[in-house]
Homo-oligomer: A and B are copies of this chain.
Amino acid sequence: MTSLTQLITPACLLDLTRFRHNCRRMQAVAEAEQLTLRPHVKTLKSLQAAEYYAPASGPITVSTLAEAAAFASAGYTDILYAVGLSPNKFPHLAAIQRLAPDFTVIADSLVAVNALTDYASELALPLSVMLEVDVDNHRAGLLPDSKELIACASTLAESPDIHFRGIMTHAGASYDCDSKTAQQAMGRQECERISQAATQLLKAGIPCKLISAGSTPTALADIKHTGINELRAGVYATFDCVMAGLGVCEASDIALSVLTSVIGHQLDKNEVIVDAGWMALSRDQGTASHQQDCGYGLVCDEHGKLLDGWYVSGTNQEHGIIRHRENLTPPASIFAYGSLLRILPIHACATAAQYSRYHVIGEDGTLSDVWSRVNGW
């Protein structure tokens, strides 16, 4: 069996125990509230990982057509592609739809709805569409009380080539909510505004079968998710330093890490140099605005035990620089040349994206499997 010391560093590790614990936590929320859970598979993009938190042929969310195609090929039939579609992607819908009849795309403008409706007439099956609603002035979506929302829904509902499934939203602003109170408030806002949109549509004679909302912080906020029937979230499966910084999880819940080797030192600067640079960790610095800036990642020993105060303070392409918050001298017992360390990611979606596979650490602490990842678009 391969051991950690035989891997070429940097390598991406997935701790199965933590991962399963995280998956169960979100499943428990959905079950308690009798909501359909539609996990977003965009963090790990792995068919083998999805068996644990989004088994076929349950509903899933994807972020690329490449994921949609891969999961459709693996037997998933209800796939929501949660990014607005550009016309150059239309020719790729038919092949996915043939494998996954409930493959669903989204739109958030009349111009996009009209383009989809026109194109759908060329498809053999009705095209499933949901409308994106803006609940937090964050990025995309139609306003809940807008006339354009009703116009879009009417156009979709009336088209013989479209299957209008309902409305969806994602309160991305929850990533800036740094207290439980703020996360609860954002969770309530997300549910209230999307149900307001559903009410508007119902008044216009257009029922929404699916009312779908979610982000990891709002899904795990201690609130009742009233007015929705489907919960979506993704990064909860692994968590990361951003989520830990927001208090959504503990650092000890983070299931993804980057295995790295010590390749040098600058002892006069109390710096340890490792072979995980931004290519291995990503350039994400999502905790820079947090109370505790974790730089490019928190440092653990090779077994995954957090080394208090040690973090990756800087990166180049293939070099990472580890320092202590209080400028301590790196103990030679931990940071000797050749020592293995694990770095907890700032943003798991970005770190995982730097790899084509995960080395899975089983419940007995040894490498148990290699899971692949669907990259590209």
Residues of chain A at the chain B interface (Cβ within 8 Å):
5-11, 42, 63-65, 83-89, 92, 108-109, 111-112, 115, 134, 139-140, 172, 261-266, 273, 275, 278-280, 282-285, 316-319, 321, 336-338, 340, 347, 349-350, 353-356, 375-377
Contacts and interface: CB of A to CB of B under 8 A. Distances in A.
Given A285-B283, A375-B356, A377-B11, A88 B317 contact: no
A290 to B, nearest CB: 16
13 contacts: A7-B88, A9-B377, A64-B318, A83-B319, A84-B273, A111-B336, A139-B273, A140-B264, A278-B284, A279-B353, A317-B350, A353-B354, A356-B375
Counting every copy of the chain, the complex holds 2
Contact of A83 (B63, B262, B263, B353): B263
Residue among A7, A261, A347 with the most chain B CB within 10 A? A261
Contacts of A111: 336-337
A88 B8 CA distance: 6
Nearest 6 pairs of A and B residues by beta carbon: A86-B261, A84-B263, A283-B283, A87-B338, A111-B337, A283-B284
A112 B264 CA distance: 8
Chain A's interface: helix, strand, loop or mixed, by majority? loop
Contact of A8 (B89, B172, B282): B89
A5 B109 CA distance: 22
Contacts of A84: 263-264, 273, 275
Nearest to A346: B283
Contacts of A134: 266
Nearest to A337: B111
Contacts of A265: 109
A11 B63 CA distance: 15
Contact of A319 (B139, B282, B317, B336): B139
Given A7-B88, A8-B377, A83-B263, 17 more contacts: A63-B317, A64-B318, A84-B275, A85-B263, A86-B275, A108-B264, A111-B336, A111-B337, A112-B264, A115-B337, A140-B264, A278-B350, A280-B377, A283-B284, A283-B285, A355-B376, A356-B376
A43 B135 CA distance: 40
Nearest to A339: B86
A347 B283 CA distance: 11
